Structure 1
Amino acid sequence: MRIHFSFFFKKLALVLLLAAPLYGIAQIDTLQQVVPGRQNAATQQVKPYVILISADGFRYDYAQKYGATHLLALSSQGVQAESMIPSFPSVTFPNHYTLVTGLYPSHHGLVNNSFYDKQRADRYSMGAKEKVRDGSWYGGTPLWVLAEQQQMVAASMFWVGSEADVKGVRPSYYYHYTEKISSDQKIQTVINWLNLPEEKRPHLITFYLSEPDHAGHVYGPDAAQTIAAVKDVDSTIYKLNEAVKATGLPVNFIFVSDHGMTAVDRENPIALPLAIDPKKFIIPVSGTMVDLHAKNKADIMPVYKQLKAEEKDYKVYLKKDVPRKYHYRTKDDRMNRIGDILLIPEWPKVFSQRKPGMGYHGFDPTVVKDMHATFYAWGPAFKSGLKIKSFENVHVYPLITEILGLQQTEKIDGEKRVLKGILKK
């Protein structure tokens, strides 16, 4: 009997030993990362506070349509935009990073959720942690980098780029992305930050929620599950607002989303055209865009001409001929990451080799209004009861620098004049 127990415990010890690194990784991803030695300059300690909140895939009309009563009430005391227009392509990583850099995706370098970099001969993907955390992939100066450079402490409860050492800088307090932290835990973390001594307290906080994007993709934008997800977001924002109010600090809230969501034609997906030979082209993305990088430049024109001749339910472009409104042409492509040939489906069609999912985004936001995002703002810096027209998301960055009194250090695509009128001063 002792022999059997000895064998059992040896096996158990081996299992625990092998599992320890994986358990350690899981633990690390839920731990707060703190950059030592940072503090607010005396001049920054008297500045206001901004919490920039994103609810992924929170379409421009969701709050009204699905009764997000708390969001509507809070924003009615501040500013409500008809919608916010995402940059092209209307997908998650490019637009979250546009919001915090004031640059179009072709200018900051995150041209899609997944893309190919010709100079590196390497791919970036939102699911590749080592790439996501590598600052050399990111252009522009994110808001938290700008703040830290000017001795204003910043914190991130998730945001695209916040895990990376962009320009060698991360927020003073940040987390590696994980869905293992509950909304209540996220709120408590924010309150803990705001209760820090003045010299350590962050004046810029980013706060990311992954819903209702997941629900919209799986069940569609009109599903009961998506409605429930919208209401959960609404409840979280109410709890956050109430908890922050109790601190007595002059905190300004900006609630945004990266894009909207739409139903598509699930019965008639577009198959990858036969003219495209995967041996001759690198194809990092499909769905609402097929992005072709030629291994041999001689293959570009023959394939383009064939695709153009067969064009149906999609538009095909050489990179130099992409419509100007997309800011996605050769002249825009600062890091040379956009494909040589682009195939863009016409809504409600998508490229897929099997039956597509229920909900999609990524379409041209100037044509498909379902791609439009949300913008609400409230707090001491904002005028009350103001409703404004739709605007492009590149203008959020200069709005926040204005509130926080940060000096912009490089040319951006956003302009202060667009949203300056929503501020009291």
Structure 2
Amino acid sequence: MKNNILYLLLLALLISSCSTKEMEKEQPYLILLSMDGFRWDYPDSIATPNFDRMEKMGVKAESMQVSFPSKTFPNHYTLVTGLVPDHHGIVNNTFYAPKFDEVYSIGNREAVQNGKFYQGEPIWNTAEKQGMKAGSYFWVGSEADIQGMHPSYWKEYDHDFDFYQRVDSVMAWLSLEESKRPHLISWYVHEPDGVGHHYGPHSETADSTIRDLDALLGYFMKELSKHPLADKVNVIVLSDHGMGNIYKDKSILLTDYLKKEWYTYLVGGNPIYNIKAQEGFEDSIYLALEQVNGLTIYKNSEIPEALNYGTHERCLDFTIVADSSYSIMKRAPRKNYGMGGTHGYDIRNKDMNAIFYAYGPAFKQNYQQEMFKNVDVYPLMCEILNLTPAPNDGDLEEVRGMLK
């Protein structure tokens, strides 16, 4: 009898050990790359052989609709949480947080690295909580101690760090021994956003940069193809938003319409601002801006449902958004302002749409995906990685068709 019990215990331990090893062996890999400001239709008008190759190898979406506001920090954090900015709290690139009585801005390193501003659960936390190591290279939020956690590997942002060296670092992480290796890696490059702002989308300089980024993608794909884990790695390449042209004769100076004593906070950046009214001046602000050609002012309780915005306390009392191709400024613009591009407009403007490409063992080949919302990326990544997602605003069923 004792021998039978001992045999059963040993058998159970053996099965458990085999199951654990099998799970470790089959744990998927995912690399997520964002190219900031890569407008959805750039590859349609510029020769991009590596993007074209990726499309044939896997999935290309017609476009991806971003979340409002169509700004960098709100959307990068949406991509990794599946929450719209109104729900994760990064409601603009610059905002006032009433709870802390502090202003968060993307240029304030102390604020950017402070986890108290970030709500929701980024996917690297989802992975780490479920026993999967993650690495994040310059992604919004990865420098902060969100929920008291960081990914196992992360980098302090260095804008000037060479793009090709970033690829090499990602490959180095993927080459770590299994016990240390991240199975989820997110990394970021800040172009073509910069050239889009300075020269405008579809400008000669922007087109040249798109070709450079296509070459960077080719280098990344080549390096990955040489890696021993190449056939086990899933890759997603996307962007946070698009880019629209702006024009010199479509600039609105807010000081022409608002008096400083009417508001306590006017925060944001072209083309979207949030306003906190001084008590008793709500009507003054609304009436002053309601009739201004080239912008829309929303009482945050009345923002259109399609924008999913305005309920978070950080949205304050009003949101003002420029009409497409218009600019809103708090102070007189520099001499050459209005000769490039920007983003942040209503997400129903397709110029704001982003790219989405993917390939790897989880994805179908040569598959065309209809337009979908960027909140769906988080549950998609969780599905690929066999992770249980945190509460989010996405819908896996909207994108399940791209998976095998």
1:237 equivalent in structure 2: 217
Amino acid at match of 1:329: G
Q: Among 262, 267, 275, which residue is 1:284 paired with?
A: 267
Within 5 A, what are the aligned runs for 1:265-280?
265-272=247-254, 274-280=256-262
1:77 matched to 2:57? The reply is: yes
Note if 1:348 corresponds to 2:325.
yes
CA distance in 1, matches of 2:153, 2:25: 17
Q: Distance in 1 between matches of 2:146 and 2:119?
A: 8
TM-score (norm: length of structure 1): 0.86
Note the 1:177-196 alignment, pairs <5 A.
177-196=157-176
The ranges of structure 1 where at least 4 consecutive aligned residues each deviate by more than 3 angstroms after the TM superposition are: 41-45
1:59-80, Cα deviation, whole Å (9 max, x unpaired): 0011121111101111221111
Equivalent in the alignment of 1:136: 116
**TM alignment of 1:152-231, pairs within 5 A:** 152-231=132-211
Kindly provide the amino acid, as one letter, of the partner of residue 54 in structure 1.
S
Q: Does 1:124 align with 2:104?
A: yes
Q: Identity over aligned residues, as a percent?
A: 39
Is this contact kept in 2: 1:45–1:198, CA < 8 A?
no
Deviations 1:67-120, CA, capped at 9 Å, x for gaps: 111011112211111000010110100000000000000100000100011121
The correspondence for 2:304, drawn from 307, 320, 323, is 323
Q: Which residue of 2 aligns with 1:262?
A: 244
2:372 aligned with 1:395: no
Measured after TM superposition, the shift of residue 273 of structure 1 is 5.3
CA deviations over 1:16-47 (Å, ceiling 9, x no partner): xxxxxxxxxxxxxxxxxxxxxxxxx8634531
CA contact (8 A) 1:63 1:69 kept: no
Indicate if the aligned counterparts of 1:261 and 1:370 stay in contact, CA closer than 8 A: yes
What's the CA shift for 1:274? 3.9
1:278 shift after superposition: 2.4
Q: What is the one-letter code of the residue matched to 1:397?
A: Y
Rounded to whole Å, the distance in 2 between the matches of 1:259 and 1:125 is 18
Aligned match of 1:7: none
User: Aligned partners of 2:46, 2:344: CA distance in 1, in Å?
Assistant: 23
Equivalent position to 1:337, from 314, 338, 357: 314
- The amino acid across from 2:167 in the alignment is I
Alignment size in residue pairs: 376
For residue 281 of structure 2, what is the amino acid of its counterpart? D
Distance 1:419-1:274 versus aligned 2 partners, 3 A rule: same
Give per-residue Cα distances to partners, 1:259-292, cap 9 Å, x unaligned: 0111112223112154422233211123211321
Which stretch shifts more, 127-136 or 283-292?
283-292
Match of residue 364, structure 2, among 363, 367, 383: 383
Task: Name structure 1 gaps, 5 residues minimum.
Answer: 1-40
Structure 2: runs of 5 or more not aligned: 1-19
* TM-fit CA distance, 1:364: 1.0
Letter in 2 for 1:346: D
What is the distance in 2 between the residues matched to 1:327 and 1:44? 39
CA distance in 2, matches of 1:101, 1:112: 16
Q: Which amino acid is the alignment partner of residue 328 of structure 2?
A: F
Name the CA distance, whole Å, in 2 between partners of 1:403 and 1:384. 16
C-alpha contact 2:247 2:339 (8 A) present in aligned 1 = no
